[in-house]
Amino acid sequence: MSKILVLGSCGQIGTELVLALRSKFGNQTVVAADLREECPAILQNGPYIQLDALQRENVRSFIIEQEIKEVYLLAALLSATAEKNPDFAWKLNMEGLFTILDLAKEGHLQKIFWPSSIAVFGPTTPADQTPQHTVMEPTTVYGISKQAGERWCEYYHNKFGVDVRSIRYPGLISYKSLPGGGTTDYAVDIFYKAKATGEFTCFLSADTKLPMMFMDDAIRGTIELMEAPAEQIKIRSAYNLAGCSFTPAELASEIQALQPDFKIAYAPDFRQSIADSWPNSIDDSHAEKDWGWKAQFDTKAMVKVMMENVNTWFSAIFRNFSKWDFYTDCVYSFSWACVRMRKS
C-alpha cells in the first residue's frame, strides 16, 4: 500500500480523517502532518510530522523522499476566521494547493483530495436545492479562494491529467474534534453549551437555514470519493454533497426533545451576512449518480449521537466562553505567529 499524507491533520476534518484512513489502510501507511510541533495524543497511533503547507520546498522534499503517493490537503483558514486575516487566508488556501498540484503534474503523486465548500456560492445562487452547476459569486475570501481552487483543480486535470477530487463540504458537526472558525460552528458549540450550562446564545438568527452534515457522513463520503474508479469521477472541480439542512431554532428544538430545560437566545453578529449568502439546501444528485453517495444521518439521528457523546468535562472548560471566537482566535493567532517567526 502506497503512503498517504494528510496535510492539516489537526483540524476538524483532518483529525477524524486520519483515524478513519488508518483504520482502513493501517496506522503506518497514513502520515499525519500539521503546524504543531508535537503530535496530538489522538493521532499518536501512527507517524506524525510537523509540516507547514506554506513551506513549498519542505513539503516537496518530504513527499518525494517518503514516496507519498496520495495527499489529502486540508490546511486552510475557514470562513469567519479568514475574514479577519484575508491576505493570509488567500495565501494559505491557494499556495499549498499549487504545491500539491505541481507535484502531481510532475508525476510524484497519483491522487489528490482537496476540500471545497458551500462558501463558493453567493447571494445570487439559487438558495433551495442549489444545483451542481450554477451561478457562483462568493462574498468571502474563503469562498473566493475555494472557487479559484476548484477552477485550478479542473484545469490541472484537463491540462495535465492530474487525478484531483473534491467535495463542497457543508457545515460539519462532530463530537470528536473542535470546529476551526467557520460560520456553521454554532451547530457544534450548541451541544457543548447545552451540556455545560443548559443555555446557548447563537450568533445567527433563529430562521437561518444552512446545509449541514454529520462528520461520520463527511469522512465516509470523502473516502468513497477517493476510492471510486477514476472513470466514474465526472466532475473535477468539486461535488455538491448534502446531509441535512436546519435552522438554529430547529436544532434547538431537537435538543430540547432530549434536554427539555435547554434554552436558546439569538444575537446575530458579522457571521449572519456570510450565512445569508449561502444556500438553504444542496442538490447532490451528481455525487449520487456518479459514485453512489448517500447520507446516512438526518438531523434527529445526528442530535441523538451528539448529545450522547459530547464530553461534559470538556464542555466545562468552555463554560465561561460565550462564543468559540476566543478559542479560534487563539489557535489561528498562534499559527500565524509561528509562520511569521519561521520566515523572519
186 annotated active-site: no
DSSP 283-341: --HHHHHHH-------HHHHHHHHHHHS-HHHHHHTTT-SSTHHHHHHHHHHHHHHHHH
Task: Take residue 134 and report the three cell numbers written for it.
Answer: 450554477
Q: Are 11 and 33 in contact (CB under 8 A)?
A: no
Cα separation, 30 vs 16, whole angstroms: 12
- Would you give the DSSP letter of residue 61? H
Taking phi first (over 0 means left), then psi (-120 to 50 degrees means alpha), and beta for anything else, what does residue 181 get? Answer: left
Task: Take residue 171 and report the three cell numbers written for it.
Answer: 457545515
Find the catalytic residue in 142, 169, 186, 327: 142
Q: Are 46 and 32 in contact (CB under 8 A)?
A: yes
| Helix, coil or strand: residue 76 | coil
Cα separation, 22 vs 28, whole angstroms: 8
Residues 41, 43, 45, CA angle at the centre, nearest 5°? 100
Check the CA dihedral 210-10-90-283 and report its sign: negative
Active-site amino acid positions: 142
